[in-house]
Amino acid sequence: MATALIKHLGRHVGETVTVQGWLYNFRSSGKISFLIVRDGTGLVQGVMVKKEVGDDLFALAATLTQESSLKVTGVVREEPRAVGGYELTLTGLDIVSIAEEYPISHKEHGVEFLAERRHLWLRTPKQAAVMRIRSEIEQAFRDFFYQRDFVLADAPVITPAACEGTTTLFEIDYHGDKAFLSQSGQLYNEATAAALGRVYCFGPTFRAEKSKTRRHLMEFWMIEAEMAYFDIDDNMKLQEEMVYYVIQRVLERCRQELKALERDVTKLESVKLPFPRISYTEAVELLKKAGEEFTWGDDFGAPHETIIGSNFESPVFVHRYPTAIKAFYMKPDPNDPKVVLGADLIAPEGYGEMIGGGQRIDDLGLLEQRLDEHKLPREAFEWYLDLRRYGAVPHSGFGLGIERTVAWICGLDHIRETIPFPRMLHKMYP
């Protein structure tokens, strides 16, 4: 018998197929039973009629508990009223394993209860929909870069130095030496960009942030790109085209999942190119107009980003931040050295900063000075300084947090649902 994935049942109308999965729900009238089966790609209702399958098979089906694993065989029929649009008229049932009483029932559970059982919670249709959208988003990023001749150059996870400040480092013992889990692959991207032109890396990054917010994880995945001969404007243009491409891909390929999440897709459909661009100084004006007390020179907090983002339907670039609040590697604006040629991309609907990026310092002397100002150890950065000694060029790059992007696209309240196993402050089980 041919096996079929539930998402592809439409290709098999009229045929007999076997679906391999788990029992999501069961109800029976005594003469007819309904088995809702999930296989990871969707849900399908199997209909079993007693007088057609016989007493034995019918009785066997009644022994099934929620999450028992099974193989069901039946004829595929179109049924617009059924979940997924198709139904199986069952002729066979093969039980693989009867599940013990399943802790996550179909009633509402608190999020604490579910988070403790994340390994099982992932099986529920909404969580599975988020994971499928995450997978589509990651694939879309890769396809975007591949189409544009970028080289995927993986950055190390174990590093000898800080990239994004020394306060959020996870320290590890590296055979007696001090090492850190990477906060960002950027510095390595700058080296591979000088070797390969346009590069990106995609991997886990780590921040020992003492923040317990709905936007922060201790371990998150970042897509980081770095381009030789790109200035701040080239950088923003690439980013908006990338984000727009990813949104279109999800709208095109994940309609079912967005529906399962009850996402208001008009919000995603109203994202338009080009994205608005405002300077930090203009953003401060915008905050003041909204009644916020804010001093030029301070960094934005989550509430400020929410206000800025909700002024626009598309994500908005905020560029030229004060030099003092940005990382050591940011290039000062030649027209106004109080600010740097960096830009963050702020998502709409209160999702906050999704990209941080900018043009890098390409001058050796200035970079040495910045390392000293930021009290960073020169020895650990000698290799990075080499990139300014041997063929320095203007270059720019950025890093996009996958989880914040998934949260926005899916319309989720909290970042913990955007990754299979979130790592949060004081929480790493399971």
Residue indicated by tokens 């960009």: 193
Assigned token pair, 212: 């317990």
130 and 263 in contact (C-beta within 8 Å)?
no
Does 356 bind Mg ion (CB under 5 A)? Our answer is yes
Distance between CA atoms of residues 384 and 382, nearest Å: 5
Does 240 bind ligand 4AD (CB under 6 A)? Our answer is no
> Which residues 6+ apart lie within 8 Å of 47 measured at CB?
32, 33, 34, 35, 74, 87, 88, 89, 90
Q: Each residue of 369-400: b (16+ CB within 10 Å) or e?
A: ebbeeeebeeeebeebeebbeeebebbbbbbb
The closest alpha carbon to 42, from 246, 254, 248, 250, belongs to 254
Element (H, E) at 125: helix 125-147
DSSP per residue, 327-338 = -TTBPEETTEEE
Using CB under 6 A, pick the residue from 398, 410, 419, 424 that binds ligand 4AD. Answer: 398
316 touches which of Mg ion, ligand 4AD, none (CB within 5 to 8 A by kind)?
none
Using CB under 6 A, pick the residue from 138, 209, 313, 362 that binds ligand 4AD. Answer: 209
Query: Which of these ranges, 94-102, 238-246, 308-316, 395-403, lies near ligand 4AD under the rule CB under 6 A?
Result: 395-403
C-beta closer to ligand 4AD: residue 162 or 260 = 162
202 and 141 in contact (C-beta within 8 Å)?
yes
Closest contact distance (angstroms) between CB of 355 and ligand 4AD is 5
Residues in the chain: 430
Does 243 bind ligand 4AD (CB under 6 A)? Our answer is no
Closest contact distance (angstroms) between CB of 344 and Mg ion is 6
Does 371 bind ligand 4AD (CB under 6 A)? Our answer is no
Does 403 bind ligand 4AD (CB under 6 A)? Our answer is yes
Per-residue string for binding with ligand 4AD, 140-179, x by CB under 6 A?
Answer: -----------------------xx---------------
Query: Which of these ranges, 145-153, 263-271, 348-356, 418-426, lies near Mg ion under the rule CB under 5 A?
Result: 348-356
Q: Which residues bind ligand 4AD (CB under 6 A)?
A: 163-164, 184, 186, 207, 209, 216-217, 220, 222, 224, 353-357, 397-399, 401, 403-404
Q: Which residues bind Mg ion (CB under 5 A)?
A: 356
